């Protein structure tokens, strides 16, 4: 049988072999451990050369496609529908701190009875949940009555940041996502209000996300939200390198929260003066935590960035650069339009040379001319799109949708350029104001 006569199943299977050999050869030649479920060797892929990383992504996509084709349509749909137990058991294991109670040493294990005693849980329930988790390569049984870590379960003990992120997903994100139907039935989710989403149904509140977590008694949940928001996976180094900051003097960071981005920029580029604009409650926290040596470089102005009355604080006007980092992806079309309408006002007032940098995702589309995404990255982006919808009626956008949003906010707004990189899921949209009547 020639290659041209191969079925899609055979073609994908051959691709799995080819890409796996490429990855294996690279790891062997550079002295790395081979991927393994066992603890003690392989832990995680270090930073790979671009061509090897691309091959690894192709391997993932092809292997998943082979698995799905081998399952067939009926079994595939059953597996998809039943996958909720993957998340619920993970939530149970994290909630009762099962991961931390199992010894980490290579070759070490613990009996079910001792593990149940340490975690103060029902032993029978523990056994059943752990045995399900084992089917996902989380833990293994070296003996019939013992539990030990795999490389995949151990990572949730050794990597605190990952544990916080996963904990947020299953403790906060999961209950919210299960109320998407109820939110749509109640509100249709058309008006774009940030307090009419699945989050409000799940938590029995009329407050928006930030207001909800700011309440007294929410300290632990607020810490988890702040430490592990999945939409905050933006690489700081990408932002530092993506623009000639040393050529800018004054920046306004719109929706800049507690000033994390402003502080990072001010430390790296001492010539910058950065104003952080956000709600009074948020900037008060930023003021308190600001380092003394940065007080002349970073300052805060309280403002509702969603105001429509045209009464923006005078301090905001006159900057060279306005920054919207990871703001508009959390907004509905209507709220994003309001923000950009205000941006148009300050850009028009500032005159030639003033710009707005939007740091956000630009989803792929057939006609955009931008890079195409592999299936894993595309699914991650679609996850974030739904997460934004469920939490606050937000939306991720492709190039054409960004352009339409600009026009809806103000006909003078133009996307001058879009900067992409393989190192980040985010792009930088450079926006200018071009008054055609002038």
Last residue within a domain, chosen from 176, 195, 228: 228
pTM: 0.84
pLDDT at res. 26:
95
Same domain (yes/no): 40, 107: no
pLDDT at res. 4:
61
Same domain (yes/no): 266, 386: yes
Same domain (yes/no): 102, 152: yes
Last residue within a domain, chosen from 158, 186, 216: 158
Same domain (yes/no): 334, 206: no
Same domain (yes/no): 168, 216: yes
Same domain (yes/no): 271, 399: yes
Last residue within a domain, chosen from 211, 228, 245: 228
pLDDT at res. 333:
87
pLDDT by residue (tens digit) across 40-54?
A: 777 788 788 989 988
Residue 414 covered by a domain: yes
Residue 21 covered by a domain: yes
Same domain (yes/no): 316, 402: yes
Residues near 234 by Cβ (< 8 Å), separated by ≥ 6? 325, 326, 359, 424, 426
Residue 106 covered by a domain: yes
94: domain range? 84-158
pLDDT by residue (tens digit) across 165-193?
A: 899 999 999 999 999 999 999 998 777 78
Same domain (yes/no): 264, 380: yes
Same domain (yes/no): 42, 106: no
pLDDT at res. 286:
86
Same domain (yes/no): 364, 284: yes
Distant-in-sequence contacts of 299-303, Cβ < 8 A, 24+ apart:
299/274, 299/275, 300/259, 300/275, 300/276, 301/275, 301/276, 301/277, 302/277, 302/278, 303/277, 303/278, 303/279
- In total, how many domains does the chain have? 4
Residue 74 covered by a domain: yes
pLDDT at res. 233:
44
pLDDT at res. 220:
79
Same domain (yes/no): 60, 105: no
Residues near 270 by Cβ (< 8 Å), separated by ≥ 6? 297
Same domain (yes/no): 108, 61: no
Question: What dihedral angle (degrees, nearest 10) is formed by the CA atoms of 305, 307, 313, 318?
Answer: 60
Specify whether the CB–CB gap between 62 and 19 falls below 8 A: yes
- Residue 72 burial (CB count, 10 A): 10
Residue 214 covered by a domain: yes
Per-residue pLDDT of the chain (438 residues; tens, 9 = 90+): 446 678 999 999 999 999 999 999 999 999 888 999 988 777 788 788 989 988 999 999 999 999 999 999 999 999 999 999 999 999 999 999 999 999 998 889 999 999 999 999 999 999 999 999 999 999 999 999 999 999 999 999 999 888 988 999 999 999 999 999 999 999 987 777 888 999 999 999 999 888 888 788 888 787 777 665 544 445 677 788 888 999 999 999 999 988 989 999 999 999 999 999 998 878 888 888 888 899 899 999 998 888 777 678 888 999 999 999 989 988 888 889 999 999 999 999 988 889 999 999 898 877 666 666 778 888 888 898 999 999 999 999 999 999 999 999 999 999 999 988 776 778 899 999 997 654
Closest CA to 350 of 278, 304, 269, 412: 412
Residue 438 covered by a domain: no
| Side-by-side strand order, sheet with 321-325 | 298-302, 273-278, 250-254, 321-325, 355-360, 427-433, 413-419
């Amino acid at each position: 049988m020639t290659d041209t006569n191969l079925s899609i199943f055979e073609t994908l299977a051959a691709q799995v072999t080819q890409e796996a050999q490429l990855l294996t050869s690279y790891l062997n030649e550079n002295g790395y451990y081979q991927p393994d479920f066992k603890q003690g060797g392989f832990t995680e892929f270090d930073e790979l050369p671009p061509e090897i990383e691309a091959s690894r992504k192709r391997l993932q996509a092809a292997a998943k496609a082979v698995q799905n084709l081998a399952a067939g349509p009926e079994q595939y749909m059953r597996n998809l529908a039943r996958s909720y137990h993957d998340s619920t058991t993970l939530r149970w294991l994290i909630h009762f701190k099962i991961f931390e109670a199992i010894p980490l040493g290579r070759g070490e294990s613990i009996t079910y009875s001792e593990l149940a005693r340490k975690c103060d849980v029902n032993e029978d329930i523990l056994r059943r949940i752990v045995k399900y988790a084992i089917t996902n390569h989380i833990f293994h049984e070296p003996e019939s009555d013992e539990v030990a870590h795999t490389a995949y379960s151990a990572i949730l003990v050794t990597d605190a940041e990952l544990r916080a992120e996963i904990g947020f997903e299953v403790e906060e994100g999961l209950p919210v996502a299960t109320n998407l139907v109820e939110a749509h039935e109640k509100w249709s989710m058309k008006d774009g209000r940030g307090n009419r989403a699945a989050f409000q149904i799940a938590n029995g509140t009329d407050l928006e996300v930030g207001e909800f977590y700011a309440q007294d008694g929410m300290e632990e949940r607020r810490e988890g939200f702040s430490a592990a928001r999945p939409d905050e996976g933006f690489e700081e180094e990408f932002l530092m390198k993506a623009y000639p900051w040393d050529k800018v003097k004054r920046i306004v960071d719109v929706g800049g929260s507690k000033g994390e981005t402003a502080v990072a920029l001010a430390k790296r580029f001492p010539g910058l003066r950065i104003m952080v604009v956000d709600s009074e409650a948020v900037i008060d926290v930023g003021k308190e935590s600001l380092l003394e040596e940065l007080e002349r470089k970073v300052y805060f102005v309280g403002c509702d960035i969603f105001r429509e009355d045209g009464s923006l604080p005078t301090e905001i006007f006159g900057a060279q650069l306005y920054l919207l980092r990871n703001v508009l992806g959390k907004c509905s079309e209507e709220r994003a339009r309001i923000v950009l309408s205000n941006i148009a006002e300050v850009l028009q007032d500032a005159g030639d040379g003033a710009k707005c940098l939007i740091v956000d995702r630009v989803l792929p589309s057939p006609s955009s001319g931008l890079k195409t995404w592999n299936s894993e990255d595309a699914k991650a982006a679609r996850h974030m799109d739904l997460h934004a919808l469920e939490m606050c009626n937000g939306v991720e956008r492709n190039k054409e949708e960004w352009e339409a949003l600009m026009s809806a906010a103000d006909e003078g707004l133009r996307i001058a350029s879009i900067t992409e990189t393989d190192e980040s899921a985010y792009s930088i949209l450079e926006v200018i104001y071009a008054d055609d009547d002038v």
